[in-house]
Copies of this chain bind each other. A is one copy, B any other.
């Protein structure tokens, strides 16, 4: 209707910095997070980088490969972050607090990655889809185990550790959907608050 003012040409000025595999992944990450994997044509990724679509193939194997790389890296970071956060901690309460804090913080500081994981993981072809899904379950199971430990130790009171872990994990994931860098709260403030919510959900009383 109005081709002179195309609203999908979101990138205002093609930056003439060097295009690398990393800059392609970064542009793809931004656009996948905004419009979804299926809603993002390669032509828009190219336009954001100031190059033509076929030139993207100097930096990637395929559009799927872009998604797969983004998801694999993101899940690796989440699992590493979890391991680092709980390492050396003693009680289930300490572990649950630290695990929730780092998970919540990650979702405030890596919003694009979280949005793509939650929206487009199903867009992968097998066997990558199963691999990614198993990685997510690994993290879920680890958090559930902490809660179950806390229940056994008499530290927590929940009817079902699986339900509580879903609630804690998913409220943290949602931070990616509403957090703004220029908002009234810092990422660290939100993460601390949510870590506190996690302990409340499992009825931990210090």
Residues of A near any B CB (own CB < 8 A): 34-39, 119-120, 122-123, 159-160, 163-164, 166-168, 170-171, 173-175, 177-178, 185, 190, 193-194, 197, 200-201, 203
Q: List, sorted by A's number, 23 A–B pairs whose CB atoms are closer than 8 Å.
A: A35-B122, A35-B123, A38-B38, A38-B39, A119-B119, A159-B193, A163-B185, A163-B190, A163-B193, A163-B194, A167-B171, A167-B194, A168-B171, A170-B170, A170-B174, A170-B177, A171-B171, A171-B174, A173-B174, A174-B174, A200-B200, A200-B203, A201-B201
With contacts A36-B119, A168-B171 known, what are 12 further pairs, Cβ within 8 A? A35-B123, A36-B120, A38-B39, A39-B123, A119-B119, A159-B193, A163-B193, A164-B197, A166-B175, A167-B174, A170-B173, A201-B201
Does the CB pair A160–B36 fall under 8 Å? no
| Given A160-B185, A174-B174, A185-B160: A167 in contact with B197 (beta carbons within 8 A) | yes
Residues of the B chain whose Cβ atoms lie less than 8 Å from the Cβ of A119: 36, 119
